Structure 1
Amino acid sequence: MASHRRPKQSSHAYATALTATAAAAVALSTQPALADPLPDPNKKGVQAQIDRLYEEATQATEKYNGAKEKAGQLEKQVKSLQSTAARRQSGLNNLRNRLGSIAAAQYRSGGLDPSVQLLLSSDPNGFLEKAAALDRLSTQQLSELQRYETQQREVQQQRQQAAGKLKDLESTRKELGDKKKEIQGKLAQAQKLLNGLTAKERAEIAENEQRANRSSERAVLGNEASASQRAAAAFSAAKSRVGMPYVWGASGPSSFDCSGLTSWAFQQAGVSIPRTSQAQAGIGTRINALSALKPGDLIIMRTDLSHVGFYAGNGQILHSPKPGAQVRYESIAQSGMPFMWGVRI
């Protein structure tokens, strides 16, 4: 089977800027086999702690993404319910005004018993016509009353539903705030550990990250076809983002977290998929064998399903891996994350 190497980015200046950004972020490589031996015996322990904090931050990010998606849905539902309730209230007010007019007309015409009114009337035929009209009016009033009561109940139900959704929205917004604090706390802890290292150690870690990016540029993917045109289109969109920085909660077009990249890429292909890795794990057709994956299939990683990327071919994943890193290709075997299953869309 023929193979190809992924071409380097066309803009050298842009790549240099991103490399500087990665070095400043002092991110860690997820490919320990590429790291140089470190002289400090405690360094490995510090690096493991930082790796764990980054992993916990990305896991919390997916929960944040889920809460954010839920908040957006609730906001739309609340707006729709409130808008519908307002329209129905307006119709209810008009109906109430009509009922008032009917009641006033009956009051003006109904002061005497109908038989007495007929006896005293100077125009019996005219009175009988008027009485028939009032009888029809009474039937209309009953129908209007029934409509009024029905609409009143519907408006009340919609207001109650909107109130319930608003309560859920308030709770979800609180969850968003809590997850944001958790993520920022994890990243701050990681940065504190990094700051405690020597300048040489930090430079070595930054070099490991740059080495991972250079390895991505040399990734050999093969030329296997995708399983569908939409998967091919989404994968092509994701490939155009190689070199873009990881930013938690970001969904493009210039920065991404893991599920932000996959959802954005499928959006470019005209396909709407859920925002979080856990939700993406439950869509499409599940592919249990790594060997059965095609380029453009989603890869679900970690036992809690908190990471997702694209299968790129030849045992490679295209993903936005972690804080401080860039969208890149990596060996699935060396990613440090267990493969759970693939998803074909």
Structure 2
Amino acid sequence: MAKRAKAPAKRSRAALKHPKVSPGELLTLLDFVRYATSRFNEAKLTFAHGTTDPVADAAFLVCETLHLHPDQFESFATARVASHEARSILDVIGRRVSSGKPAAYLVNKIYMRGLPFYVDERVIVPRSFIGELLDSHFGGHDGEGPSLIADTSAVEDVLELCTGSGCLAVLAGHAFPNALIDAVDISKDALEVAARNVAEHGLQERVMLHRGDLYAPLADKRYDLIIANPPYVDAAGMAGLPRECLAEPKLAFDGGADGLDVVRRILDKARRHLTAEGGLLCEVGRCRDALEKAYPRAEFLWLDTEDSEGEVFWATASDLAHL
């Protein structure tokens, strides 16, 4: 009985992989977004890679397939789609469902703060909250929080640890126009992707990529700002990663038993790599309680974004003296 009960599920998965819809049945961009949303809901996909729901994921894939920036979707939402374009859209929708891969991998593209970046399976799909914080908490912008560094033009040296695809290093290059940026990663494959993004954004003269374990390639150099989005998923989280996340490099997620293995190493040596007025901006996901328990004397300033609460902290060089 148990074996016979499984048969419908297999047929259902096969149906998902081989949609019978004809391109002529769907006419506009909105038609394809609605169709994709239905299929994504049916397949119970996960959305945590730059899009937060099936509609946004569908709109992203439709726009990328049609070579449109996401901001252009509303302008063309009711436009008709050519038959060859329709076939391409249906193909990428089918691959999203059957492969379970993040949408960004299927089109080799992700946007952060409106800027496009190349990504593939060699790097985690970037979705750090730090990108928003560089806009809202630096340079006296009109954000709700404090300006952590008021004069961004005075920042001369920035370090990004665990750079991955290099997105945050590029965003830092825009946020701090006079800064030289060192970006470090232990993965040779990730640095190849980062090099492509740095070049495509014309920052080769200001962003230097280093392969190594955290501070190891940097000798005794000091920085006005250290940015870090390290692996911080704890053991329980690693055991429950959704299918989409399993397509990403495990190295970029695994933070050890409590999620803080790499974070501790960053904190413990941060002060010796900061200038007297410098600070550390570090993302730790849901590890706030574990971090505060591990460092009870620390004076972390927890920062919120549009989609997060207390997942990124700021600590100045003087704050880190109390660890």
Tell me the TM-score range normalised by the shorter chain.
under 0.3
Greater share of helix: 1
Greater share of strand: 2
Higher-RCO chain (CA-CA 8 Å, sequence separation at least 6):
1
With the length of structure 2 as denominator, give the TM-score of the two structures. 0.24
With the length of structure 1 as denominator, give the TM-score of the two structures. 0.23
Looking at CA atoms only, which structure, 1 or 2, has the larger radius of gyration?
Answer: 1
